[in-house]
Amino acid sequence: MTKYIMKRILMLIPVVIGITMFIYVIMSLAPGDPATLIMGPDAKYEDILAKRQELGLNDPIFIRYLKYMAGVIRGDFGTSWYNGYNVMSEFLSRLPNTLTLGLMSMAITIVIGIPFGVIAAVRQNGAIDYCTLVLAMLFSSMPAFWFGLMAQIYFCITLGWLPATGADTLKHFILPSITLASGSLAGQVRLTRTSMLEVNKLDYVRTARSKGASESRIIMKHVLRNGMLPVVTSIGGHFATLIGGAIVTESVFAIPGVASLMINAVKIRDVPVVMGIIVVISVFVGVVNLLVDLTYAFIDPRVKLDG
């Protein structure tokens, strides 16, 4: 088990190296000198040269990359090209908002998605089944930012029930979490339904039926337990999707989180900030997936984790 965990964590290293190297390469291929961009069109030539020196752009790209990676190993992701703040500390100060958003929407996805998936499977081809599937389809096709905007206008401005923007209290997070959950909810419902239907066809369920066990007992005791296994695995995948969705959601509701930091950095091409965020989040997603796999082995003893 320990060996497996170590191996999975070590597997994150090539991911970090690969992504950073990839971004360095395309950055060096892209036209335009960062120092000139930062200093603006009116800057003096000497100032641009000084900025190049300050940013270390005079070194060959290979040396710059090694210097950067040496920093990454120590947890130092450099400073912003434009505002000079430390990338890691800025990231950490914004992380709680994004985490709250992510966890709340994950909770909504699970609490609503799983029961509806189960009901749809139990009443297969019934009215509830069709309604759930159509609604799920509808929600997954809607752009999350559009859903968010419309919900914001209706609930926050027209009805005035909830605050429209900001991240001061938990109340601020209710609508953003629902918005973010709306996209992954559909996948959760469909997956739960399919998985339940599959288990429902298995022999041991038929045995239970023929023994005369009550339908509710069959569903709760026999089908649900095994039917939940793929659902648990899917949660790791949802997590990556949630982070992608969080970017637009934070923008709609003006939540000062990691995603809004990312958007601003992309707009002004603040590469160290973008790079820092993407590396930390990739590692984070990797760790979440590892935890999910460990949980999976824990709830299903048939699964053996060996490297």
Q: What is the largest CA-CA distance in the chain?
A: 87
Compute the distance between CA of residue 264 and CA of residue 274 in angstroms, rounded to an integer.
9
State which amino acid sits at residue 213: A
Query: Which residues of the chain form contacts with other proteins (CB under 8 A)?
Result: 12, 14-15, 18-19, 22-23, 26-27, 30-32, 137-138, 140-146, 149-150, 153, 157, 194, 197-198, 240-241, 243-245, 247-248, 251, 262-263, 265-267, 269-271, 274-275, 277-278, 281-282, 285-286
Q: Report, in Å, the least distance between residue 162 CB and other proteins.
A: 15
Nearer of residues 93 and 241 to other proteins, judged by Cβ: 241
Q: Report, in Å, the least distance between residue 73 CB and other proteins.
A: 18
Nearer of residues 100 and 200 to other proteins, judged by Cβ: 200
Q: Report, in Å, the least distance between residue 41 CB and other proteins.
A: 15
State which amino acid sits at residue 91: F
**Exposed/middle/buried for residue 155 (C-beta within 10 Å: 0-12, 13-18, 19+):** middle
Nearer of residues 92 and 153 to other proteins, judged by Cβ: 153
Nearer of residues 8 and 51 to other proteins, judged by Cβ: 8
Nearer of residues 50 and 135 to other proteins, judged by Cβ: 135
Q: Report, in Å, the least distance between residue 212 CB and other proteins.
A: 26
Compute the distance between CA of residue 12 and CA of residue 222 in angstroms, rounded to an integer.
37
Compute the distance between CA of residue 126 and CA of residue 112 in angstroms, rounded to an integer.
19
Q: Report, in Å, the least distance between residue 240 CB and other proteins.
A: 5
Alpha helices in 123-223 (DSSP H): 127-141, 144-151, 171-200, 203-211, 215-217
Compute the distance between CA of residue 214 and CA of residue 190 in angstroms, rounded to an integer.
25
